[in-house]
Structure 1
Amino acid sequence: MRLPIHMTTTRLLLLLTILQAFIVTSCKQTNSIIPNEFHETVLPKIGSNEWYSVNYSQNSFSVNIANEKLKIEQVKEINKCELKITGGTLVRINRGEWGGKLTFKPADTTKKAIEIKSGNIKYIFNFKNKIYFIEGLAHDGYSEGAIFELNKQNDNFTFTKLVDFDDAPEALAIYKNKFFIATYKNFYIIQNFKKDLIFNDAFWSGLYPNSIAVLDEKNVFLGIRSGIAKLDLINKTLKFYKYEK
């Protein structure tokens, strides 16, 4: 039996109203995770007055996810971090242009520390029961880095380079067995140690990415100088939220 025309129209209008409410609610949910003191701003063009303004900002922010919510904090510079492994502790030191190193500190205090590699070690971490570290440096026109696998047999260490970058890795997050890596000016997804360039020459060049927080692939957040960036890796779009209080 055919419905009267006015009933069909009424149902259609009701459906459109529900759909519109869903879209508005979804947008509000996305925006509500950004604190009020961070305002969406046009992406600054590198080298512009706006870019220099954020580049000279004294505020840098880190991002992380806690209880499925975005948390933003003022950056606290950390030059040293540790990873406990069998037999002792791996210690990484990164002092930027003044160098750094990766060392192994044995649990047996009668043994001396072992220097594994000199260089600016950004991260050391476990992934699928293996140990990896990331090295990178951007300074005075130089910008390079790499991902290494670290192997240990007793107190002997070797390492193998797996992924090379022509731009210094700055921030790392692991999501669904993928590495999300923000470099000095680019953004990569690394899967099975093959890199896929997602954003090239992004506006954060010179704004020193320091952390990545992931809700899902459409909601990836990057802590940078003067604010945060929001990355949609599916649609490959960027937004910039500047700190203004």
Structure 2
Amino acid sequence: MIRHLINRKILNLIFLFSTVLIFGQDYRLEDFETDSIPIRENLWKANHSKEDWVILKTNDSIKIKPNDYNYFKGDSLPFGQKEVAKKLNNQYSIRAVKKVEDGYIIGLNKGEFGGGLWFLSEDGNSSYEIMPYKRIHQILEFNKKLYVISGLAHMGSNYGNLLELKREENWRVSKTYKLPGAPNLMIREKENVLIITSEYLMSFNKYEKLIEILKAPFYWGVLYPSSAIIIDNHIYIAMRKGILKISDFYYNRNYEWYVKK
């Protein structure tokens, strides 16, 4: 019995050590090679891949890491998870946080089971729901305003919105912009915000115009884009199985699909 427990502890330590090695490892784009764009059966093979990536930019150099599925985006909360959940109607599915002057805007996302958008005071003692049910993916400050992306792609449904938040007595949604499908993420690009949805790359500019830049060369929504960076006029989008590079993505587009060597 003692030997069995010791062996089990050793196996657990080996698993923990290997997990740290896998998720702690960084790669460069040079560690990847180009492959055919994933369409048709190759797309579904990619959908079932165990490889999933996050891409980062440091001093105009590219760093690629395995996705640890820490979907939390935004600012940190100075409270424990249970303490916060008590103020959010016992909900733990925090996806996004944005610090504001007197507290925190908190977005929840439980997929097909719903979500919500909440305000939590700076001292953590009071809260209220800004908007129920909406699946919140990210909160971003742009042009001195707060914007939220929400939506869902599931079982034939595919919808999303860009929401502007405004503070009066309480925070509320002041404007809604319809997106062509569920959004995955937002990134800044010069004087614009780029929004990656399940099948489109959109731009939202300082004049509050939502513009389609391009339709994806394949339905990348099933590969769950996790992150993106822009270097020069090229955008790199990390997702399950690989990295999609779109060169000169505004005009003379060229698509390259990179997978791990």
The alignment's TM-score, normalised by the length of structure 2, stands at 0.73
- The percent identity for this pair of structures is 27
User: How far, CA to CA, are the matches of 2:173 and 2:235 in structure 1?
Assistant: 31
Q: Does 1:243 align with 2:257?
A: no
Cα distance in 1 between the residues matched to 2:99 and 2:37? 41
Q: Is the 8 A contact 1:185 1:206 kept in 2?
A: no
Code of the residue aligned with 2:231 in structure 1: it is L
Name the structure 1 match of 2:189. 175
Which residue in 2 is equivalent to 1:67?
A: 59
Structure 1 residue 193: Cα displacement: 2.8
Per the TM alignment, residue 162 of structure 1 is displaced from its structure 2 partner at its CA by: 3.9
Counterpart AA for 2:130: I
Match of 1:41 in 2: 35
Give the aligned residue type for 1:36.
E
1:104 correspondence with 2:119 = yes
Deviates more, 1:70-79 or 1:113-122: 70-79
Describe how 1:153-168 pairs up with structure 2 within 5 A.
153-154=168-169, 156-168=170-182
Aligned to 2:222, the other structure's residue is in SS state: coil
Partner deviation per Cα, 1:122-141 (whole Å, 9 max, x = no partner): 11121122111111211111
Query: Could you tell me which residue of structure 2 aligns to residue 56 of structure 1?
Result: 48
Within the alignment, does 1:125 sit opposite 2:119 as a pair?
Answer: no
Offset at residue 70 of structure 1 (A): 1.4
Name which one, 1 or 2, has greater alpha-carbon Rg. 1
8 Å CA contact retained: 2:115, 2:135: yes
Question: RMSD of aligned C-alpha atoms?
Answer: 1.9
- 2:243 is matched with which residue? 228
Which residues of structure 1 form unaligned runs of 5+? 1-32
For residue 76 of structure 1, the aligned residue among 68, 76, 80 is 68
Equivalent residue of 1:97, what SS?
helix
Give 2:231's aligned residue.
215
Structure 1 runs of 4+ off > 4 angstroms?
Answer: none
Distance 1:210 1:109, change over 3 A: closer
- Cα offset, 1:201, TM superposition: 4.5
Aligned residues of 2:102 and 2:121 also touching (Cα < 8 A): yes
Instruction: List alignment gaps of at least 5 residues for structure 2.
Output: 1-26, 72-93
Deviation at 1:109, TM superposition (A): 4.0
Contact 1:163 1:193 in 2 (8 A): no
Q: Secondary structure at the match of 2:118?
A: strand
The answer to whether the 8 A contact 1:146-1:161 is kept is no
Matches of 1:80 and 1:188 in 2, distance apart?
21
2:217 to 184, 202, 208: 202
TM-score (norm 1): 0.78
| C-alpha spacing 1:205/1:93, structure 2 compared with 1 (3 Å) | closer
Q: Which amino acid aligns with 2:59?
A: N
Output the amino acid matched with 2:200.
N
* Contact 1:124 1:132 (8 Å CA) reproduced: yes
Letter in 2 for 1:197: E
For the 8 Å contact 1:88–1:106, the answer to whether it is kept is: yes
* 1:220 positional shift: 0.6
State the SS of the aligned residue for 2:225: coil
Secondary structure of the residue aligned to 2:43 is helix
Quote the Cα distance in structure 1 between the aligned partners of 2:185 and 2:217: 14
- Counterpart contact for 2:96–2:137, Cα < 8 Å: no
Report if aligned partners of 1:83, 1:91 keep a CA contact under 8 Å in 2: yes
- Pair 1:205–1:89, CA change in 2 (3 A): closer
CA distance in 2, matches of 1:76, 1:92: 20
